[in-house]
A and B are shown apart, each in its own frame.
Chain A
Amino acid sequence: MENHNANDLIKSLQRIYYFNKITFWLNGELITAEIPPAQTTLEFLHNNQHLYGTKCSCNEGDCGACTVVIAQVKEGNIVYEAINSCLYTAAKLHGKHLITIEGLGTLEQLHPIQQVMLENHSLQCGYCSPGFVMSLFALLANISHPDEEEILSALEGNLCRCSSYQSILRAAKELSENFTFNDIVPAWCRDIEKQLFSFKDASKLIEKSGNLFYPCTHYFIPQKLSELTDILANTPESVFIAGGTDLMVRMNVQKEEMPVLIDLSELQELKQITYTSRGIVIGAVVTYSDILHSGIIKTDLLSLYELVEKIASKQIRNFATLAGNIANASPIGDTLPLLSVLDASLTLFSSTGIRELPLRDFFLDYRKTRLNYQELIKEIVIPLPTQDAFIRTYKATKRKAVDISAVVSAVKIETESGKIKEAKLAFGGVATIPKLSHKFSELLIGKPSEEINPIEIAEIVSAEFNPISDVRGSKEYRQILIRNQVLNYLQEYVQGDTNE
């Protein structure tokens, strides 16, 4: 509730809150904590535990200073994942192992990561250092001898304004060369791994009131869809949260209130990636990292794999979801053009049942979708493209990594007996919703590749859109991007074709 006068504000101080009573491991110790609704892990560390080694610099998941590592069971394995604690709600920690900088190494006995960084002079002011240590810990705990690309991917979400990157990279390479995950993961972490498998306790809601002031009153974490249905029946005003990498920014920075949040990330039914007759089905709480770890995606949807690698940072990919990117309905949602050209559809769930909707019909207007009241995305269905389909995506950003696009696009061209059978091109960042180019399909379908004039088509497609100017780019720039992206795709397509 927005408090525009003193009386409203005083009243809201008497609201009733439901805290999440959760059990989890913090740096090797099992603890039980009562978490105020929607409190972030970072706030919990600072306010409840008085652990200040984890730093807050932006509070919106863009700097990595607050990086911590979570160990949990996924698909029958223990994974160590770096996350931005400023966006990760503490209630999600239930049954997991939270590892912070305080857990790794002491002044007397540095952890190998700390020792090698010290020797390489990989720090200046030190404010970002704990975050870098934790990102490296997650990287090296999962894989031994990561290559340079894997190192950059693990560290691109950590900003260092002193710009010690060169010496950090030197340290990372040395660590990669000389240590395996057995040197990196301490014994006390290994001890808890077994307990993570057998953990069964349920979390509880605890009522609190009296001069408390939080932007949220309830934070539900249903485990099953049936449980969710019950919650929905009793809570008329609620907002769904999956990873929360967008929603928590709105709470942290824009100071939005979300009185009732329903966290979907524990819904067992929505955690899978599976093959079906309709194509590949991705559950709504599958994270970007889950997608990258999925053999199915890497084998059969390489275009999605390659795009997801370029989305946000490792810390964000570890809990942000594909369904969240769709439901969020940002005009520059990175995955939306690709999903559009792949003819993806959505399965929507509500208490009254499920329905199917093609993704391209899902968006109505700026951040408006066809989701009904209390309806959510259950899964994303992506038909398998033909083996030799030409599929590409491109993100135009200000910075190489961890940046939102000015224009993002995707193309799919399917060829049959020398002629283009299907051609789809979609853009984000050129209108209030992701858009397909009609001209592109019109001009290409039925044509053999030698009749394609990339420059001409690029100009026509560019004229089809009327983008706006904003902080990420001017209208003029976007217009050029549209043209050049089409040109790039078609030149590559034509060349690839003639090479065969």
Chain B
Amino acid sequence: MNKSYPHINGKLHLTGSSRFIADEIPLPEMLYTKFLFSPVAHANIMELDTSESITIPGVEKVVTASDIPGINQIGLVIQDEPLFPEKEIMYMGQPLAMVLATSEKIAEAAVKLIHLKYEELPPIFEIDEADEKGEWYIPEKKIECGDVQKALSEADFTLQGITETPTQEHFYLETQRCRAIPGEDRQIILYTATQSTMEVQEVVSRLLNLPANRIIVEVPRLGGAFGGKERGATIWAAMAALGCFLTHKPVQVLLEREEDMRSTGKRHPFQGRWKVGFDAKGKIEALDIELLSNGGAYADLSIAILERAMFHADNAYFIPNVRIRGRACRTNLPPNTAFRGFGAPQAIFILESILDEIAKKLELDPIKLRQINAYRSGDITPYEQKVIECNLPDILERLAFNSNYDQLKEEIEKYNDEHRNSKQGLSIIPVKFGISFTTTHLNQASALLWIYIDGTASLTTSAVEMGQEVSTKCATVVSKVLGIPLENIRVESSNSQRVGNASPTAASTGTDLNGNASRNAAEKIRVRLLPLAQSMLKNQGIDGNMEKICFKDGTVFSSDSPETKIEFKDLIRQAYLSRIPLGANGYYSTPGISFDWNIGRGSPFQYFVFGAALAQVQIDLLTGEHQVLKVFIVHETGISLNEAIDLGQIEGAFIQCYGWCTCEDLPRDTTGHYLAINPSTYKIPTIRDLPSKIQIEMIPSGSKYASIFGSKAIGEPPFIYGLTVWFAIQNAIHSVKPDAILKFPATRESILLALN
């Protein structure tokens, strides 16, 4: 099972020869683009005068809303977002006009000669104000079970509060980009850095008033995305496509880092307003929670993100009486968008804050409190999905064992007693992460597989490769079904002509959906090859049953006599001569999922991923510095398709969340301007931020509901583990100042302000 087959594109990447869009030779006659970005967050455009800018030699065209041939609309779920605003500017950094020129420098200079007059309107930036004014994209959503009011009034204890989570910048190393090239018959070929080829095709087709079959979307790979290119890439692809349509020349859109950070949406800030009821043992009886998100200027994916947040408002705990109400609020910030976890980390942070309050109130051990409340198999979620194959109690026990929990706690207490200016703290967080797009129809994928005459294979799937190694995993699946050595399988770029109507590669579902589609394609070919294989083996004296024929290591044999083999490539040549089709289209849709928002009931997830983490940190009370001393993670992977990939996903997700929790501070001024729009001010973790010690145990689940070959999704669930660091820091602070309020992220500043 190729447990740790290396990154399928590893050699390409490590030699700098892998292809990334726009990191390549300019095309003849290619035009470069620069944008006029809005200098204000909310305003009416009074005048947008481009006449001076177009007189500059080298400027081909200056494009504004009036040049759009189709509908000036790039919204998809909710159609509320223009490519260029015609009247109302909705956020700072919103593109208002685009210069197309023969060089970047000329385009840059020409942008300064576009004259904008505007009339400022009062902007809204905060959730509270937007909510008060009813600025929601859609009305409130609700999930409810039991009788919350009654349970709260009868509970031994109740607590209430408001908990907030801040934004986070994706900081994919490869900025947003697209190259558009004119083709014959009004075709436009878009080399786009997107997670969603279908969305780009659909939006551009509407924008340019061209049939979808004229819009070809091609994605070699992405230099990181993390959700930021699920919808975030569409606007830039649309810009390039429009420029190409208007000039009939290749057009390149390539954002500089500051342009990208200023103008693109980020992780949704959330606010949880909650009331919780529990008994003296800490068993939670009731939770009434409102989840409000800051969605920015346009709806983007805010509704789906709110939904996932609502589905994870219970995190890993069974609560009999729950009311979850969610409202996504419109503000004058760049439209916030998907980011690893998709609302779940925000909701889980809020719930874990509530648990910490309960633990404090009852002076309970944090792991005990979590054990008391953890889901068990057979429990029902607030939206009435049955929780099955739940091994949370075992996982928590395992975590306590691995970390030597009781001793660790004692050591920390001892350390804190002995040190005046340095304190330690710890925290534990379990996770139950729902796998499937909560938008049910997106749970489908296709794969196109060709076996060529020499026995090598070419595989295209709906998935976009962005470092999660869906390519390596899908190739592993094909290799397993057809016995083709991995080095003979090429996983191709994503391309709308080879695989159309592709769902975004998101929600951790890439391998589940596309691995299954690849398997389906490979199995179709296998079935077609079997009779021929049988007859070829018969020619060699093996009279085998078809069910006993094995495809392995580039050979085909009967399990009865494994020594007598035929070469896979000989089988393929013979199949071609025998006119057996060697290409297949695979398809997969996730079975058994549905949800009805009218009643707030259903089973939106195919399965859950379970796990838990513990972090021990040390803080310096004078400097506010912290060090993560130890991290223990127990994570259920199912039967991993590739342990090295899954380990990398867990380690990477942990650090990415750690950054959100500690150093990725993104302040904003009163005019709506993000102040940290480059890496000199916005600090993501470096190699120095690794924990001193991290131990990760991946446990197989033997799940019947797990996906391709028993594996489980890995992209997002481990992100939650990083939250332990924030809570451990808070725990350390509380050891000296029990009522201290720690802001998120826990920067040195937050820590010192909490202490003083």
Interface, chain A (partner B; CB < 8 A): 3-6, 9-10, 13, 46, 50, 52-60, 62-63, 65, 100-102, 104-107, 110, 114, 117-119, 121, 123-130, 133, 152, 155-169, 211, 213-215, 249, 253, 255, 394, 396-404, 406, 470-474, 476-477, 480-481, 484-485, 487-488
Contacts and interface: CB of A to CB of B under 8 A. Distances in A.
B126 interface: no
A470 B622 CA distance: 21
A400 B686 contact: yes
A401 B174 contact: no
B10 A123 contact: yes
A466 to B, nearest CB: 18
A166 B667 CA distance: 29
A6 B655 contact: no
A149 to B, nearest CB: 10
B23 A52 contact: yes
B99 to A, nearest CB: 12
Contacts of A481: 752
Which of B20, B105, B468, B688 is most buried by chain A, counting CB atoms within 10 A of its CB?
B688
Contact of B173 (A100, A159, A253): A159
Which of B10, B223, B686 has most chain A Cβ within 10 Å? Answer: B686
A159 B684 contact: yes
Contacts, number: 271
A488 B420 CA distance: 12
A398 B25 CA distance: 38
Given A107-B17, A487-B622, A476 B753 contact: yes
Given A107-B17, A398-B683, A161 B11 contact: no
B57 interface: yes
Interface string B151-189: 000000000000000000011111100000000000000
Contacts of A163: 651-656, 659, 685
A161 B15 contact: no
Contacts of B20: 52, 55, 127
Interface of B: 4, 6-7, 9-18, 20, 23-25, 52-53, 55-58, 103, 105-106, 108-110, 112-113, 170-175, 221-226, 256-258, 466-469, 622-625, 644-645, 647-648, 651-656, 659, 663, 665, 667, 675-676, 678-681, 683-690, 694, 747-749, 752-753, 756
Contacts of A213: 58, 103, 105-106, 109
The 9 closest A-B pairs by CB, nearest first: A53-B16, A125-B467, A126-B13, A127-B223, A124-B467, A101-B16, A163-B655, A62-B679, A399-B683
A168 B685 CA distance: 14
A168 B14 CA distance: 12
A152 B656 CA distance: 18
A6 B52 contact: yes
Contact of B652 (A10, A164, A399, A474): A164
Given A406-B749, A471-B667, A114 B11 contact: yes
B173 A398 contact: no
Given A53-B16, A121-B648, A124-B652, A161 B686 contact: no
Contacts of A406: 749
Contacts of B747: 398
Of residues B16, B57, B171, B224, which shows the largest number of chain A Cβ atoms within 10 Å of its Cβ? B16
Nearest to B650: A166
A473 B683 CA distance: 13
A253 B173 CA distance: 17
Contacts of A474: 749, 753
Contact of A471 (B15, B258, B681, B688): B681
A165 B651 CA distance: 8
Contacts of B57: 10, 13, 211
Given A9-B113, A105-B15, A114-B15, 12 more contacts: A3-B112, A6-B55, A106-B15, A125-B173, A127-B174, A133-B16, A159-B686, A161-B684, A167-B651, A213-B103, A213-B105, A484-B752
B679 A58 contact: yes
Contacts of A488: 622-623
A158 B685 CA distance: 10
B678 A152 contact: no
B689 A400 contact: yes
Nearest to A255: B108
A63 B648 contact: no
A54 B18 CA distance: 11
Nearest to B256: A59
Nearest to B18: A126
A164 B258 contact: no
A190 B517 CA distance: 51
A42 B659 CA distance: 29
A9 B103 CA distance: 14
B644 A129 contact: no
Given A399-B663, A404-B680, A162 B256 contact: no
Contacts of A168: 687
Contacts of A55: 20, 23, 173-174, 223
A101 B678 CA distance: 25
Contacts of A59: 256-257
Contacts of B653: 163
A118 B648 contact: no
A471 B747 CA distance: 13
A157 to B, nearest CB: 8
Given A9-B113, A163-B652, A168-B687, A123 B14 contact: yes
Contacts of A50: 25
Contacts of B170: 161
Given A63-B679, A166-B651, A127 B749 contact: no
Nearest to A157: B686
B753 to A, nearest CB: 6
A270 B43 CA distance: 54
Contact of A63 (B53, B173, B469, B688): B173
Contacts of B694: 166
B623 A152 contact: no
Given A63-B173, A164-B648, A127 B679 contact: no
Which of B103, B110, B469, B685 gathers most chain A CB within 10 Å?
B685
B224 A110 contact: no
A421 to B, nearest CB: 27
Contact of A126 (B12, B58, B647, B667): B12
Contacts of A471: 667, 675-676, 681
A310 B307 CA distance: 44
B14 A133 contact: yes
A329 B14 CA distance: 40
B56 to A, nearest CB: 6
Nearest to B103: A213
Q: Among the interface residues A158, A161, A485, which one has the most CB atoms of the partner chain B within 10 A?
A: A161
